[in-house]
Amino acid sequence: MSKPWSVSVNKQVPPSDRPVLAGGRLGTAGVLFFALAAATPLTVVAAIIPAAYAGGLLLVPLGFLALGLILLVFSAGYTAMIRRAPTAGPLYSVVVRGLGRPLGVGAAWVALLSYNALQIGLYGAVGAAAEPVLTSRFGVTVPWWQIALGCWAVVALLGLVRVEVAGWLLAVLVLAETAVIVGFSAADLLDPAGGRIAVSPPDLSHLDRPALGLLLIGAALAFVGFETAAAYGEEARRPRRAIGRATYLAVLALALLYAGAAWALSVGTGSANVAALSAGRGPELLFDLAAARLAPWAVTLGRVLLLTGTVAAMIALHHTIARYLLALGRDRVLPGWLGRTARHTRAPRAASLTQTVLAGVVIGGYAVFSPHKPLPGWLGVAGGIGVLLLLAAVSLAALLFLNRAPDGENAWRRFLAPGLATIAFGTLGYLAVVNLAELLGVRPGDPLTRILPGAFGLAVLFGIGYGLVLRKTRPIVYAGIGLGGTAVVVSPTSAPVPKQRTPGAHRPERINRELTQ
């Protein structure tokens, strides 16, 4: 019969020898800009908002505000979990603590699959964003894969630098994107269709429920990226405060930005025409309205920033993926060399290069077999749906864990907020599955509608199986899953561990209580 095991904070390995990220290099603003960049706000305004209006509903601004409220509720339990142990793999770590290590490993595979789909899918979108700029300004046409490889090289380089350097660049690009969105929206509001802004309550008498479900899912996908703020907890100054503030600010900023831009679009076109124009012009509608009201240079600037905003999202998502790989390598769930950091920059160099190689292989392979057709747009949709499913699991994990070990949390944070978020994200997940064909842009019954759920299901099952194998064959590794490399397993006969705190770690008694439940 095997010996029982308990977990305590590792006092044997000096802190200088542990694979740690650079602490204290990002403030709240730095973390916030990483999260905002990952959400691609200008792409959402140009593409998702017209697509939502094309469904025939005029409730798009209210849809974004409703999703913002749901995400604020979710963030209460989520940030309460993150404050207890900031880590580079937040979604994975939260699921480990709330739902157990095997399910946590499954969540880690889903996170890697989803974020890679989001990031790699953007390499297909960047060609479409660059084409109008290159054609109108330089009169040249460049194959999508050449543009994608150029952006790939930029992302690869910025994945290896100090995190604050990438953060400064993203801050400039995100602020520029925001200025363009606000400027275009202000132009529509100052010159409304028909000469006046008509304000009237929405007509709910003929509400199309399937269209409403699609609107909610589209709005939810537009926010994906806000949750990545927690991945920088180990690199933030005062992480327990900075991560919470950055998460809340990201949700508020995106909700107000999207709702305002959606309202301005309907004002600029007229509420009677917005659905038809959105269906006919799609992403070009934003620039059509700007061309009618602003100088040509403003339209060109908007197109350039749409391109740079896409690149900014690639950079932010690359950093997120690299930190998940580092967290899994440090926990020995993946090979340990993935948990190494560069000596001078403390960047997750091995993990960053791994994601770079993966993206390069996908781009190169697709360029060989489909040089004239870019990577499919459904990759981004698939990745976003995967993140939504993870948020549902995180909500349930927070509900269970915070009620097992409340540690002073009030009823709102430990019960009401995560409970409501679990119901909300469970509903959104159901709506996503029901409307999967429409979201992916394929016909009902298309094989893709079965392949995608199957891929996520297999990732979860593989993770659970792998976790159970680790429990049987490598109990020390298994006991440290999700703890950020700060714990080791000791036998119950070992000397008691002093009750001290180490930076970024749990208290030993909290770890033992958590892992034995």
Place of tokens 């920059």: 345
DSSP helix/strand/coil, 236:
strand
Q: 57 or 163: whose pLDDT is higher? A: 163
| DSSP assignment letter at 26 | B
Place of tokens 């759920």: 453
pLDDT, one tens digit per residue, over 287-312 is: 999 999 998 899 999 999 999 999 99
Q: What is the mean pLDDT of the chain?
A: 87
- Do the beta carbons of residue 107 and residue 328 sit within 8 Å? no
Q: Is 87 left (phi over 0), alpha (psi -120 to 50) or beta?
A: beta
- Residue ranges of alpha helices (H) inside 405-506 are 411, 417-434, 436-440, 448-473, 475-479
Gap between the Cα atoms of 515 and 517, Å rounded: 6
pTM of the entire predicted model: 0.90
Does 181 score more than 70 pLDDT?
A: yes
Gap between the Cα atoms of 133 and 138, Å rounded: 8
- Do the beta carbons of residue 487 and residue 479 sit within 8 Å? yes
Q: Which amino acid is at 194?
A: G
Looking at the chain, the number of H-run helices and the number of E-run strands are: 21, 2
- Position 1 scores a pLDDT of 42
Does 199 score more than 90 pLDDT?
A: no
Gap between the Cα atoms of 374 and 511, Å rounded: 47
pLDDT, one tens digit per residue, over 484-512 is: 765 544 544 444 444 444 344 444 444 44
* H-helix or E-strand spanning residue 145: helix 144-158
Average pLDDT over residues 143-158: 94
Average pLDDT over residues 270-293: 90
pLDDT, one tens digit per residue, over 426-485 is: 999 999 988 899 888 889 889 999 999 999 999 999 999 999 999 999 999 999 898 876
- Residue ranges of alpha helices (H) inside 39-100 are 41-43, 49-54, 60-84, 90-99
Gap between the Cα atoms of 64 and 215, Å rounded: 9
pLDDT, one tens digit per residue, over 413-428 is: 999 999 999 999 999 9
Does 340 score more than 60 pLDDT?
A: yes
Q: pLDDT confidence of 201, banded at 50, 70, 90? A: low
Gap between the Cα atoms of 219 and 259, Å rounded: 10
* H-helix or E-strand spanning residue 7: strand 6-9
- Position 27 scores a pLDDT of 92
Q: pLDDT confidence of 158, banded at 50, 70, 90? A: very high
- Position 205 scores a pLDDT of 57
- What crossing angle do the helices spanning 60-84 and 90-99 adopt, rounded to 10°? 70
DSSP helix/strand/coil, 255:
helix
State in Å, rounded, how far the first CA of the chain is from the last one. 21
Average pLDDT over residues 52-78: 92
Gap between the Cα atoms of 57 and 95, Å rounded: 36
Percentage above 90 pLDDT, the chain: 65
Domains contained in the chain, CATH given: 1-18+485-517 (no CATH), 19-197+206-484 (1.20.1740.10)
Per-residue tokens: 509: 């008694």
Gap between the Cα atoms of 350 and 482, Å rounded: 19
